[in-house]
Amino acid sequence: MTTTHGTPDLFALSDINGPVLRPGDPAYADEVTGFNLAALHTPDIVIGATGPDDIVTAMRWAKATGTPVAVQATGHGANFPIEHGLLINTSRMTDVQTDPTTRTATVAAGAKWSDVISAAAPHGLAGLCGTSTDAGVVGYVLGGGLPVLGRAYGYAADLVRSMQVVTPDGHLRETDPQHEPELFWALRGGKGNVGIVTSLVTDLLPLSRLYGGGLHTPGEHAADLLRAWSDWTRTVPDEMCSMFSVLRLPPIPQIPEPLRGGFWGRVAITWPGDPAEGEALIAPLRRAAPVAVDTVEDMEFAALDRIHMEPQDPLPARECCLLLRDLSPDALSTFLEQVGPAAGPDYPLLVASLRHMGGALARPSAVEDAVCARDARYFMESVGLMPAPPVAEAVEQATRRLYTAMAPYGTGHTMVNIHGTPGDEQDRARAWTPEVYARLRHDKATYDPSNLLRYGHAVTPA
């Protein structure tokens, strides 16, 4: 294989149907840019895959040349820049096929949850998505997939029936509980360590409507709402899903009035049952603190984005998370000291949240997978916008202070999709239990001994 200016010859990639681009090509910047603008990728080569054959060709070329490979669909999970190597962009692969008889969807590598919801809604069905339907399905599922309805239905990885995957040896494989079950295990919760998923089949939910939205109190009352919510979560049925957040919202047009530019405490509610029952269940929260904005209502499942109101436009962000054993009074006080009114009006984190876990999230999957968050009763996550110095430094410092302060209340583990920028091997391993991490390393040695898939939240071969 000849090289030009240190880059392997691209002749072997000439059979790829999508674009094959290098730095300086007119479409290169658009092809490498994802949702998280804090991670600006600069691969030597980027391929716009149009189907499994393109990925097979690219992977065989990477294996022959020893070129490391990264994958991106929407770029929501891009937590650090990809330098050099080959980036495979799957965003053109958006096909979704639903089967109302089996209540399943076959989802291509680049499809978003909004694509699945649009295809499933006419049949009265829905996908087990997260807080934003703009996120890609495959990357979300590979990290386990923490849904807004997780307490009611479990992790998204639990619902996957089968996957089609290109392994680093360049072979296209079908995997399910009966065919290559170890590969199937590692793909569901082990992130993209053993192959590039080209499509998956997942169960759909017989669900067309939700009762959901947000109860917003002015930030000075956030402590009252948080303590009431913490007590309330110990009484509600498994189907009640909720998250408490402290929000410091920028004054930008994408945020609706009157929330725009404000400091708020919020409880986001997602309830898949009868709206009247849901309204009765959340009544104590409505009495706990002055509710200035109440958006909780009966809605179509397709309107789910109205519940958490996550950004729909690309932005530079720093995210992080921690699984919590419980929420003791000391843990609540520590959280409020860090992110509540005492932190001041210039506190740099956009959102700091506590999510109620348990319910179906605590139950083992019917088919074993690599998801390791089943022992946490709560989950803390944060997001800070990082447009440029000195704001980026302030976000980083605030993030470190928050997680250092809350560490005594944590399980010591994270969720891989929201882990943030992975550090050294010890830091990366926190996304799994020691037993699961060791098993993933063994599977990595089996399927990717050369560590071609070394970008992102990668483990090292055993």
Report the alpha-carbon distance of residue 103 to residue 159 in Å, rounded: 11
3-state class (DSSP) for residue 353: strand
What separation in angstroms does the CA of 309 have from each of 41, 241, 259, 376? 27, 16, 11, 25
Contact of 66 with 82, CB cutoff 8 Å: no
pLDDT of residue 149: 98
Q: Where are the domains of the chain?
A: 3-89, 96-206+437-447
Task: Check whether 4 has a pLDDT greater than 70.
Answer: no
pLDDT of residue 9: 66
Mean local confidence (pLDDT), 127-145: 97
Task: Check whether 7 has a pLDDT greater than 70.
Answer: no
Mean local confidence (pLDDT), 328-343: 97
Report the alpha-carbon distance of residue 431 to residue 130 in Å, rounded: 18
Q: What is the mean pLDDT of the chain?
A: 95
Q: Give 3-state DSSP helix, strand, coil % of the chain, rounded to 5.
A: 30, 25, 45
Contact of 158 with 184, CB cutoff 8 Å: no
What separation in angstroms does the CA of 108 have from each of 137, 202, 367, 453? 9, 11, 22, 20
What's the full length of the chain, in residues?
462
Inter-axis angle of helices 329-339 and 222-232, to 10 degrees?
Answer: 150
Which residues, in sequence order, are CB contacts of 83 under 8 Å at separation 6+?
Answer: 41, 42, 43
Mean local confidence (pLDDT), 389-413: 95
Architecture of the domain defined by 96-206+437-447: 2-Layer Sandwich (3.30)
Task: Check whether 2 has a pLDDT greater than 60.
Answer: no
Q: Which two tokens stand for residue 83?
A: 């330098």
Mean local confidence (pLDDT), 431-455: 97
3-state class (DSSP) for residue 58: helix
Domain 3-89 fold is 3.30.43
DSSP track, 64-103:
HHT--EEEESS-TT--S--BSSEEEE-TT---EEEETTTT
Tell whether omega for the bond before 250 is within 30 degrees of 0, i.e. cis: no
